[in-house]
Amino acid sequence: MFASLLPSTTTVPRVSLNPHEYAVDKSIKKYESERNQSSQSDIAITNHMKSTKAVIGSALTVLALTALPATATIYSDATGDTFAGIGILDITSVEVNNTATDLIFKINLAGDPVATDWGKYMISFDTTAGGDTTGNGWGRPISMSAGMDYWIGSWADGGNGESLFAYTGSWAMINAYGPFAGPGATAQFDPGFNITKDSSSVTLTVPWANLGLSVGNAFNFDVYTSGGGGGDSAVDSLANPSQSISDWPGPYNSALVDSYTLTAIPEPATLALLGLGGLLAWSRIARRRS
């Protein structure tokens, strides 16, 4: 008649118990009741922990996924499609990506722009109706017959530099980066606008607001390489897998273009707040459930 001798499901028959037996019977029932409550409470705690862990786990997974930059869109170009046969002017591909504020163009080259740095790297943009159908911001013999609205010209020598021009009936420089004095009073040296390079690529970054773009906007573009002469044309064109020009002066018109759509990515600060808010809300719900 002692608890340690009883299986957990044993019920004690109510038959003529003397006062001593009655007390023992009561103790056994109390013990069983407490043990039952305790094990239910253990299950509830375990379930709560499991559910909280699952919620935190999935919230962190969502955070990790959304914190990553969008996957770059890779635009391939032929290798060896230039008259010049110069590696630093031969585009092999361009990886385009955007953050919450910037557009990034990683121009992959057949040559090493660190070892040989005189190449010029340029991007034409057709973002909206209208634009320049015959020229560009640098006055190079390069055009975009659909109408060029913005132009980035950059150089990988002299400490690297980049300039952004907008067309509104005429070309004006609206942003610049690098160790040079801009040709116009409107030049704005913005840390979000820059050029970097490594042994096989040149990367140009531009705040997309500079291009009048919003999330969801699509635009057409082409990427070119050229030499240091003011009359040098598009030695290579990303959108054209065939040879673009047969000699330095060209000219070249971008009849072929590529297209990119700006994707939504939360700002890191907003993301952190959203993530924290979400976790707190879930934690409160989980507590209420338990």
| Two structure tokens written together for 21 | 């037996």
Query: In this complex, which beta carbon is closest to Ca ion, that of residue 90 or of residue 258?
Result: 90
First to last CA, the chain: 37
Query: In this complex, which beta carbon is closest to Ca ion, that of residue 9 or of residue 242?
Result: 242
Report how far residue 205's alpha carbon sits from residue 156's, in angstroms, rounded to the nearest whole number.
14
Q: How far is the CB of 112 from Ca ion (least distance, A)?
A: 15
Residue 24 CB coordination number (10 Å): 16
Whether 226 contacts 107, CB under 8 Å: no
- Helix, strand, coil abundance in the chain, percent, nearest 5: 30, 30, 45
Query: In this complex, which beta carbon is closest to Ca ion, that of residue 213 or of residue 239?
Result: 239
| Two structure tokens written together for 98 | 């955007």
| Two structure tokens written together for 161 | 């530099």
Which residue bears the tokens 């042994």?
199
Q: How far is the CB of 80 from Ca ion (least distance, A)?
A: 7
Query: In this complex, which beta carbon is closest to Ca ion, that of residue 77 or of residue 232?
Result: 77
Q: How far is the CB of 62 from Ca ion (least distance, A)?
A: 39
Q: How far is the CB of 99 from Ca ion (least distance, A)?
A: 27
Q: How far is the CB of 234 from Ca ion (least distance, A)?
A: 9
Query: In this complex, which beta carbon is closest to Ca ion, that of residue 126 or of residue 236?
Result: 236
Partners of 260 in the β-ladder: 219
Query: In this complex, which beta carbon is closest to Ca ion, that of residue 124 or of residue 240?
Result: 240
Q: How far is the CB of 78 from Ca ion (least distance, A)?
A: 5
Burial class (CB in 10 A: 0-12, 13-18, 19+), 31: middle
Query: In this complex, which beta carbon is closest to Ca ion, that of residue 158 or of residue 241?
Result: 241
| Two structure tokens written together for 220 | 């057409």
Smallest CA-to-CA distance from 76 within 51, 90, 99, 93 is with: 93
Give the footprint of Ca ion on this chain (CB under 5 A).
77, 81, 90-91, 236-237, 240
Residue number of the CB atom closest to Ca ion = 77
Max Cα distance, the chain (Å): 117
Q: How far is the CB of 90 from Ca ion (least distance, A)?
A: 5
Whether 237 contacts 252, CB under 8 Å: yes
